[in-house]
Amino acid sequence: MKYQLRCKKCGSVIPDFATWFAHDQQCSCGSAYAEVEYPDAVPFTFSPVHTNSYQDYYFDILPLLDRQNIVSFGEGLIAIERWHNLEEYARKHGIDCQVFVYRNDCNAGSGSFKDISAALAASVLKENGIKDYCLASTGNAGVAFATYLAKAGIRFTEFAPNCIDPETVEAIRRVGQPVVISKGGYGDAKREAAEFHKNNHVLISGGNTDPLRIESKRLLAFECLRQIGRLPSVYMQAVAGGTSPLALEKGIRDLNVLSASQHSEYSLPRMLLVQQDECDPMVTAWEKATAAGFPEGWHLQYEAKHDIKTRIGILTAANPGNYPLVAPLVRRSGGTFLRVSEADLPAYGKEMLASQNTLMGPASMVCYAGFFQAVEKGLIHSADTVLLNTGEGSSRSSWFRSLVI
Ligand SMILES: [Zn+2]
């Protein structure tokens, strides 16, 4: 047996994705959170790369049975660059660290964070004969799934909030997939997608704990080992839903089981997760928990934000439903949540343009700005290896480009 799923709630085994999909992506106990396991996997060794598809390279540790089903544009095996300007900034504060950036804008599918998830989802859906899929998304996920599922011959319906960028809508329609734009925000789009799923029996993306998303994104841990020879000691990203931190944790657990290296034990990097002040429900909840000394049940205490004014469409998760899973992980890692000023982001864009001759999109800039703050707050130490997992390029955010250039 190559793989199986195991329910995170009751521990039951679900034999394969065919069964998982047939039961509406739920365990018999009703939980929608299951993880993929590889009972018979042999230790993974890093061979030279002769492919541009991470699914091809990591095929032995992905829930796919036939390479013929791989849907890829070239993603996942992207550059982890060392950014000396950030190291220089830390040095000015007396900190001697190394800083790397995992550039999701280099994914060939749609140039974002979400290409890696969408690629594996497209392949597994194709392998299991799924013809129709839907998702509510604030932008990047919609474009990525539309693009990859179109290549797999699967119809995909995007449910978007009213604040979606016009470039994003155009990118989805360009690949021939339909977009339903809600009159309301992300919460309304999610409700409409759920109704569509129910009424039309169309499979819907399983959200932030979807095993397809976790399983693809977990490979970041493997990519760190392949490209820089070690795991980071500090991990940073802008957070909306929070799939990636969960995926990284799973990846590190898998590394400890699947890695052929003699390394004793890989441990969790300190997670510094960043939100912009115009939509920061996780930071707010975390600050309250910190002030109260993390009392019993602290991780269940969070509130949705109302009337959010952020212009960063892909970071508008006003109701942080994943906080009860993500926040304890951040705490266990010794990390924290950071808030950056959205109004300051264009200035960081100018700095990036000047020092790196590149400009990323606004969600990436949230992470980037967070690095400067982390240095100033003493959250990064000498000898740290810092990894910034940046989400997107600036091509679908002309409003942001116009504020920088
Ligand atoms: Zn269960």
Predicted TM-score (pTM) of this structure: 0.95
- Domain membership flag for residue 178: no
Q: 18 and 87: one domain?
A: no
Print the domain residue range for 283.
80-110+212-404
CA of 207 to the centre of ligand 1 (A): 17
CA of 13 to the centre of ligand 1 (A): 8
Residue 297 has pLDDT above 70, yes or no: yes
* pLDDT grade for 262, boundaries at 50, 70 and 90: low
Per the structure, how many domains does the chain have? 2
CA of 127 to the centre of ligand 1 (A): 24
Q: 31 and 84: one domain?
A: no
pLDDT score of 73: 97
pLDDT score of 41: 87
For the stretch 26-78, pLDDT in tens is 999 999 999 999 999 888 889 999 999 999 999 999 999 999 999 999 999 99
CA of 35 to the centre of ligand 1 (A): 11
- CATH number for position 364: 3.40.50.1100
Tokens representing residue 92 in the block = 């000015």
Measure the CA–CA gap between 355 and 28, rounded to whole angstroms.
53
CA of 44 to the centre of ligand 1 (A): 29
Do 90 and 234 meet the contact criterion of CB atoms below 8 Å apart? no
Percent of the chain scoring above 90 in pLDDT:
86
What is the rounded average pLDDT for all residues in the chain?
95
**Average pLDDT for residues 214-227, to the nearest whole number?**
96
Q: 315 and 223: one domain?
A: yes
pLDDT score of 307: 82
Q: 88 and 36: one domain?
A: no
- Domain membership flag for residue 396: yes
CA dihedral 63, 206, 323, 312 (to 10 degrees): 110
- Domain membership flag for residue 67: no
Do 240 and 276 meet the contact criterion of CB atoms below 8 Å apart? no
Measure the CA–CA gap between 18 and 14, rounded to whole angstroms.
9
- Domain membership flag for residue 1: yes
| Sequence-separated contacts (24+) of 345-349 with Cβ below 8 Å | 345/276, 345/369, 345/400, 345/403, 346/400, 346/403, 346/404, 348/372, 349/394, 349/400, 349/403, 349/404
Q: 3 and 94: one domain?
A: no
CA of 209 to the centre of ligand 1 (A): 14
Could you give phi then psi for residue 344, rounded to 5 degrees?
-85, -10
Q: 13 and 105: one domain?
A: no
- Domain membership flag for residue 169: no
For the stretch 79-135, pLDDT in tens is 899 999 999 999 999 999 999 999 999 999 999 989 999 999 999 999 999 999 999
Q: What is the DSSP letter of 66?
A: -
CA of 191 to the centre of ligand 1 (A): 24
Measure the CA–CA gap between 118 and 121, rounded to whole angstroms.
5
For the stretch 374-398, pLDDT in tens is 999 999 999 999 999 999 999 889 9
* pLDDT grade for 263, boundaries at 50, 70 and 90: low
pLDDT score of 87: 98
Q: 93 and 17: one domain?
A: no
Helix axes 84-92, 362-376, angle to 10 degrees: 30
For the stretch 327-371, pLDDT in tens is 999 999 999 999 999 999 999 999 999 999 999 999 999 999 999
Measure the CA–CA gap between 172 and 144, rounded to whole angstroms.
8
Q: 36 and 85: one domain?
A: no
Residue 306 has pLDDT above 90, yes or no: no
Q: 395 and 299: one domain?
A: yes
User: Quick one: which of 231, 139, 148 has its CA closest to 186?
Assistant: 139
- Domain membership flag for residue 241: yes
Q: 334 and 253: one domain?
A: yes
Q: 342 and 289: one domain?
A: yes
Q: 36 and 84: one domain?
A: no
Please give the radius of gyration of the chain, using alpha carbons only, rounded to the nearest integer: 20
For the stretch 204-213, pLDDT in tens is 998 889 999 9
Strands of the sheet with 13-14, listed across from one edge: 13-14, 4-7, 34-37
CA of 157 to the centre of ligand 1 (A): 29
- Domain membership flag for residue 186: no
- Domain membership flag for residue 291: yes
For the stretch 160-175, pLDDT in tens is 999 888 889 999 999 9
CA of 110 to the centre of ligand 1 (A): 34
